[in-house]
Structure 1
Amino acid sequence: MEHLAYKRKVTIMIAIMAAMLFAAVNQTIVGTALPRIIAELGGIQYFSWVFTIFMLASSITAILVGKLSDIYGRKPFILVGIGIFSVGSLLAGFSNDIFQLIACRGVQGLGGGLIMSTAFAAVGDLFAPRERGRWQGLMSSVFGLASVFGPTLGGWIVDNANWHWVFWVFLPFGIVAFVLILVLFPNVEKKAGEKVDYAGSLFLTTTITPLLLAFSWAGSKYDWASVQIIGLFVATIASLIVFIVVENKVKSPVLPLHLFRNPIFSLSNIIGFILGAGMFGAAMYIPFFIQGVIGRSATASGFIMMPMTFGMVIASTLGGQFISKTGKYKILALAGLLVMSAGMFSLAFMDLNTTITHVIVSNIFIGVGLGMSFPVFTLTIQNAVEQRFLGVATASAQLFRQIGGTVGVALMGTIMNLRMEHETKEVTSEMGASMMNNPMLAKIVQKLDPQILMNHDGLEKLKDSIPSQLAPAFAKIMDSMRDVLSYGLTGVYFIAAFVVLAGFLLTFFLKEIPLRSSQPADEKQKKEKQQAM
């Protein structure tokens, strides 16, 4: 589709980014609105499934549609994705209980996976590799904007209107994007001789699903050594073995295993996995420090996190321009991962005396580093494979980042809990001896849980119930709890910094293939790819 007029390409990209914004905002808008939704629908014990089901559904459809879009073209799948996502959003707003909401979020996830996978692959269809950097950066900035405005808008809607509008407010975006893509996006003929790999698709699904569930539940719902978690890992390994056997036999595999023999493809996905683990694993816990240790409100926490997102948006946009202008991307990835690692290390040295300025500056480092490096590894993968594998290669990049994020959140959460548990025992032991003379304080010490620091209303009620003469002792207990929470969280940031640093070191081994200025590969480019494999 490189032959299309540039103006038409830009219009198509605007439509694609509108579809991505539609999907991304619907992901981020739910977070701040969910407590109010749960208060009305009930089922707080199932609330995590509102996020888990979306992640599962989107991960599976993203990787499965990669190969299908290589066969049938991107247009039908992005249209179907927008349609499914719109239906899921509409029905979610009509939910009468938590189970209906979870089911509708699953439908949204199916559509979201289709949209995200085909959107990034479409960039490769429309533009030569040299031009893709600019558009990959702009598309990455869409996620940043969604992260800024989604939570804020979600909170505003539930405070000032009916929560149902959380799911309905952006439906016009989906409709406009659907019409634009339907009219402007060219049709592509089905590739001759290609068949759908149903068996591979099935066993890939049965590999991904238990793996993501295991890391989502381990350390929170079930112990790591529990029968449930071990069983899920066993099911993952068994399905993976069968999947590899099937993929080596079929003519048109859903995920061609020979792609992993290309060191650029494999290394880029490994770094993408590491980047996802470090980013999601640590960024998710920054609000815990702001609200629990520093004591700011959830709204203030959102504003404090904004500079990180703006840093990511600006860096990804400028980074894309740099790639398109120079054709260089490795130096950008190295610089981004190093800056991001520095931001993580800065967070690892926070304590009770840390200022908001320290947090904001560290977050800006993380956001800028993320914006510089995140889009690069999709570009390296697209540049290292043949055009006919563009869709499945792009989908693999998304899958590895998603799995990395899931693994990162689980492992970082376990690290935080273990450190907090150890520190809480020491603090309780020290305080228990000095405060056992007062039954009220002794009871509080015995039931110490740093999670109460995130519940500011509950903390105020507890504080009001304490007699004034015991207020200094109670304040000392709360400071100790902040120390415990800070100890747990800084350990998370320290590990995350080393995880990102590992990605930085691996990037040195990534071979940089010059970005082509035209879509078809010339003989020199083919030779370079063969040498890289």
Structure 2
Amino acid sequence: MEHLDHKKKITIMIAIMSAMLFAALNQTIVGTALPRIIAELGGIEYFSWVFTMFMLASSITAILVGKLSDIYGRKPFILIGIGVFTVGSLLAGFSTSIFELIAYRGIQGLGGGLIMSTAFTAVGDLFSPRERGKWQGIMGSVFGLASVFGPTLGGWIVDNADWHWVFWVFLPFGIVAFILIWSLFPSVEKKPGEKVDYVGSLFLTTTIVPLLLAFSWAGSKYEWASGQIIGLFLATIASLAIFILVEKKAKSPVLPLDLFKNGIFSLANIVGFILGAGMFGAAMYIPFFIQGVIGESATASGLIMMPMTLSMVAASTIGGQFMTKTGKYKMLAITGLAVMAVGMFSLSAMGPSTSVTMVVVNNILVGLGLGMSFPVFTLIVQNAVSQHYLGVATASSQLFRQIGGTVGVALMGTMMNVRMNEQMNEGSQGAGDLAKNPELAQKLQGLDPQVLMDPERLSQIQQQIPPQFQEAFSAVVRMLQDSLSYALTGVYFTAALIIIVGVVLTFFIKEVPLRTSQRTEEKKEEEAV
């Protein structure tokens, strides 16, 4: 589609960005609202699964649709993605338990994977690698804008209305996005001679699912050395071995193994995995610190998060323009990851006495680093492969980042729960005083840090405490805040170390100047055939 006139490309990009905005808004609005949702539905121990299930489902569809969209075109899959995502959002709003919410988030993930993978690949269809820098930055800004409006609106909804509307408020955007894609996005004919690799797709799925389940359940639902976790890892290894054998013989493999012989492709995806682990594994817990540790409302949490997203938008846009102008990207990626690591280290130094201003400053650092680095690695992967593999290469980039995010969320969720329980087990003097009164002890039975995200419930409990026990009750609340803070700062510190590894690996990525046209590459492919 590179041959289309500029005006036509712009209209197609508007349609693509409308679909991305719909998906991104529905993802980001959940962040600040989820602590309150968890407080009502219960199940803080399953909190990470709300994100894990989404990323698990989106990881599977993202990689599978990569090859399919290379064969059948991007349009049908982005339309299906919008439809599935809309249904998942509608159902999520009807959730009556944490388990229903997790299941419906899985449906959202199936649609989200389709939308994101095809959207980023479509940019590669429309523009040369050199031009993509600018557009990847703009698409990153779409996520940033969604991150500005989504959390703020999500916080306002749970503070002033029914939380179910968090999942319903943007449903009209889905209809608009569907209409725009249907009317503006060009259809393409199926590539002759290409067949769907059903067997490879099956074993790729059976490799990803047990791997992510193992990381999600280990340390929380089951012990790391339990038979269930070991069995899942063994199933992953067995499926991976079969997948490799199948792909070597497949005429049109779902994930061509030859791509991994390309050092740039492989290393960029490894760093993308690390970026996903550090970013998703820590950023999702920031609203917990704001609401649970320093006691701000959900609405205030959204406002406090806003500077981070605004800095991400600015850095993403400026970084994209820089790549298009210079054709270079390596130092931008290194600088972005380094700044993000500094931000994570700063987050790890926070505590209950941390001021809102300091939280904002730390969030801005994370946002700047994320905005500079996030769009780069997909572009590196696209620039390293031929146009023929654009869809599957882009999908692989999404897959590695999503798997990294899933593993990061799982590991850091386990770490948070372990550290929180360790700190709570130490007890407090206030808890001992309250325990002397059996009636009060019963009221406080099962009290854990998730109550900190529900100010109304906490206030109701406090009102039931006699005056002579108010000081002791305050000591219990401080103990809960300290426990949550201790758990979260450990998560941020670990994320910073992970990002540092990404900085080091990025130095070893060979920088190939961004191509100024797809046509030269396509001509070479035709001559080779």
| Structure 2 length-normalised TM | 0.88
Match for 1:198: what amino acid?
Answer: Y
Residues 183 and 482 (structure 1), Cα distance of their counterparts in 2 relative to 1, 3 Å cut: closer
Residues 105 and 362 (structure 1), Cα distance of their counterparts in 2 relative to 1, 3 Å cut: closer
Aligned to 2:415: 415
In the aligned structure 2, how far is the partner of 1:482 from the partner of 1:37?
19
Match for 1:302: what amino acid?
Answer: G
- Confirm or deny that 1:456 pairs with 2:422: no
In the aligned structure 1, how far is the partner of 2:171 from the partner of 2:458?
39
Aligned to 1:392: 392
Q: State the secondary structure of the residue aligned to 1:248.
A: helix
Q: State the secondary structure of the residue aligned to 1:17.
A: helix
Residues 347 and 512 (structure 1), Cα distance of their counterparts in 2 relative to 1, 3 Å cut: same
Give the deviation of 1:220 after TM superposition: 3.2
Aligned to 1:203: 203
Contact 1:89 1:167 in 2 (8 A): yes
How many equivalent residue pairs?
523
In the aligned structure 1, how far is the partner of 2:110 from the partner of 2:374?
23
Q: Which aligned pairs between 1:26-175 and structure 2 lie closer than 5 A?
A: 26-30=26-30, 51-89=51-89, 105-154=105-154, 156=156, 166-175=166-175
Give the deviation of 1:384 after TM superposition: 0.2
Give the deviation of 1:188 after TM superposition: 2.5
Aligned to 2:493: 494
Q: State the secondary structure of the residue aligned to 2:251.
A: coil
Tell me, which stretches of 5 or more residues in structure 1 are unaligned?
A: 527-533
Match for 2:503: what amino acid?
Answer: F
Aligned to 1:9: 9
| Structure 1 length-normalised TM | 0.88
Give the deviation of 1:362 after TM superposition: 0.4
Aligned to 2:506: 507
Match for 1:333: what amino acid?
Answer: A
Residues 35 and 282 (structure 1), Cα distance of their counterparts in 2 relative to 1, 3 Å cut: closer
In the aligned structure 1, how far is the partner of 2:50 from the partner of 2:435?
43
In the aligned structure 1, how far is the partner of 2:409 from the partner of 2:94?
31
Give the deviation of 1:142 after TM superposition: 1.6
Q: State the secondary structure of the residue aligned to 1:515.
A: coil
Contact 1:330 1:512 in 2 (8 A): yes
Residues 480 and 78 (structure 1), Cα distance of their counterparts in 2 relative to 1, 3 Å cut: closer
Contact 2:92 2:105 in 1 (8 A): yes
Residues 168 and 495 (structure 1), Cα distance of their counterparts in 2 relative to 1, 3 Å cut: closer
Which of 220-229 and 341-350 deviates more? 220-229
Contact 1:219 1:410 in 2 (8 A): no
Match for 2:140: what amino acid?
Answer: S
CA RMSD in angstroms, aligned pairs only: 3.4
Which of 107-116 and 90-99 deviates more? 90-99
Aligned to 1:334: 334
- Confirm or deny that 1:308 pairs with 2:308: yes
In the aligned structure 2, how far is the partner of 1:193 from the partner of 1:463?
70
Residues 229 and 457 (structure 1), Cα distance of their counterparts in 2 relative to 1, 3 Å cut: farther
Contact 1:219 1:413 in 2 (8 A): no
Give the deviation of 1:174 after TM superposition: 3.1
Aligned to 1:375: 375
- Confirm or deny that 1:439 pairs with 2:429: no
Aligned to 2:474: 475
Give the deviation of 1:344 after TM superposition: 0.8
CA displacement 1:473-492 (0-9 Å, x = unmatched): 44344334433332222221
Contact 2:44 2:450 in 1 (8 A): no
Give the deviation of 1:454 after TM superposition: 3.3
Give the deviation of 1:47 after TM superposition: 8.3
In the aligned structure 1, how far is the partner of 2:479 from the partner of 2:496?
26
Aligned to 1:520: 519
Give the deviation of 1:117 after TM superposition: 0.6
Aligned to 1:531: none
Residues 154 and 359 (structure 1), Cα distance of their counterparts in 2 relative to 1, 3 Å cut: closer
Which of 309-318 and 387-396 deviates more? 309-318
Aligned to 2:219: 219
In the aligned structure 2, how far is the partner of 1:173 from the partner of 1:482?
38
Which of 77-86 and 29-38 deviates more? 29-38
